[in-house]
Amino acid sequence: MFLWLPREYDKALLDRLLARRKIVGECWEWTGTQVWAPGHRGGYGQTTIQGKHALVHKVMADLVHLPVGGPHVLHTCDNPPCFNPAHLFRGTNHENVLDAVAKGRHESGDRHNHLKTHCPAGHPYSEDNTYTWRGSRRCKICL
């Protein structure tokens, strides 16, 4: 079942994590507390270790000695509650952003605002009703 042998003193923590998993397909979803993740149906699993909050997928990556490839722990399955070590890999911030863009999760900045068809007051962003300044759109009616 496991492709690694945890150090003896990590066994209690590993057992604690595995007791809170629900197997969904190939993912091990965390059934405990979750913190919100933008654009996903669920959040990242969160646990407490020595009185401090920790993200479960990062704890698992440390427990199984996931090779260092950057400070972030990314998911191949794109499922934030998953902490299956077979679905985790380390990467840099740049690799994390590229992964999000490739999977269609990067909905911020200009791309996100470009998808908006109306201003916050509900007026359409039409050619006649829109000022463009420094890459931002402004509604003429509201101005």
Q: What is the mean pLDDT of the chain?
A: 82
Span 98-118, average pLDDT: 69
Separation CA 95–CA 25 (nearest Å): 26
Which amino acid, one-letter code, is at 36?
W
The HSE-up count of residue 2 (CA atoms within 13 Å, CB side) is 10
How many other C-beta atoms are found inside a 10 Å radius of the C-beta of residue 117?
8
For residue range 6-48, list pLDDT tens digits in order. 455 578 888 999 999 999 999 999 999 998 765 555 689 999 8
Maximum Cα interatomic distance, the chain, rounded to a whole number of Å = 69
Token pair for residue 113?
């605002």
For residue range 37-49, list pLDDT tens digits in order. 655 556 899 998 8
Separation CA 28–CA 85 (nearest Å): 9
For the chain, give the number of residues: 143
DSSP E strands: which ranges in the chain?
Answer: 21-24, 27-30, 34-35, 44-49, 52-55, 72-75, 88-91, 130-133, 136-139
Confidence of residue 100 (pLDDT cuts 50, 70, 90): confident
Token pair for residue 106?
């990067």
